[in-house]
Every structure is written in C-alpha cells, then in structure tokens.
Amino acid sequence: MRSWIARRSLRAFAKRYGYDISYLEMMLNVSPSAFFKFAPLMKAAAHREAVPIDASFAAKIVGALAEDCGPCTQLVVDMALEAGMAKDQIEAVLRRDPRAMNDATTLGFRFADAVVRRSGEDDEFRDAVRAQWGTKGVIDLTLALQMGRMFPMVKAGLGYAKECRRVTVRGHNVDVVKQAA
C-alpha cells in the first residue's frame, strides 16, 4: 500500500513539473527500503523558516547548478516561480549577476556560492545571513543549498543524469553561468 501511494505521488509530481522521476521509481522498485529512507529528504528540501523565498531559492538554484546539467536546475526554477520568486531574480541567479538581484536574493546567492566554491568567504556571508535572519536563516540557507545538490547527485550516482538541456524561465532561454569568469 505504501509503495502504491508513493508511485502515485511520484507520478503526480512528474506530471506537475514535467520532470523525469525514473531514478526514483527505480529506487522504489529495486529497494523500497532505500526509497523510504530517502523520501523524507523531499520534505527537508522544502524547509524554510526564517529567510524570504528569494534567498531560499537563490541558494537552491546555486546548489542545483553545482551538480546538474539542466533538468534538476529546471525543476528548482519551476518551483521558484511557483513559490512566487520573480522571473528577473531567478534569471539573475542563473547568470550569476548580483547587480540585478534584490538584497535577499544577493545574500542567499553569495552565501551559497561561497560555500559551494569553498571560497573562504563563507564565514563573512554566514555572519551576514545571521545578522539579517538569525541562526535559523543560516540553517534555512544551508538546507536549501545542500538539498539542492543532493537530488542531482543521487540521480547521477544511479546513472540517470544523462540529459543536458537549456534552462528556461517562463519559456525564455537563459544563458546559465556555472562559475565566475
């Protein structure tokens, strides 16, 4: 019964976002035990308690970009739009253009980027996040960033990350910049 409900939920998710969930279906079919241990991470990926939507999704997009070649990043972009993040803010994160970001997006982006790149600036941006949104804000952005990385890595590890594609925001192709020039 639990597997049947999980399959229905996965198919509804796939239909809602146009996202290939075959790696999750394979996990459910081959190792239900692994799937049901992994599934709660989907809820953890949605955690946001103290930071604004823009900061949270900026961190999620940075995480997805660090590990993905398009489909998982597209999923995060679609979820950001659905949550109410403005198109121009999403595009600014995808292009790595802080000048075009509002303050919340910039701080979420800079924190996540510093952590992903191990730039040595992570303490500076962590302190800025803590000053703006408290320790809960640091937790929010850390979970957003790391959960944004986890799904593409699991997909790749299972051999399902075979597709690269352009990322679009409301039908508009965006030239994604993965690393600073």
Q: Note the pLDDT of residue 181.
A: 43
Whole-structure pTM value: 0.91
- pLDDT digits 0-9 by tens, 126-137: 999 999 999 999
77 closest CA partner among 67, 66, 89 = 89
User: How many CA atoms does the CB half-sphere of 174 hold within 13 Å?
Assistant: 23
Percent of the chain with pLDDT over 70: 98
Extract the tokens encoding 147.
């959960």
Domain boundaries, the chain: 1-38, 48-174
Do residues 79 and 56 lie in contact, with contact meaning Cβ atoms separated by under 8 Å?
no
- Centre a 10 Å sphere on the Cβ of residue 22 and count the other Cβ atoms it contains: 13
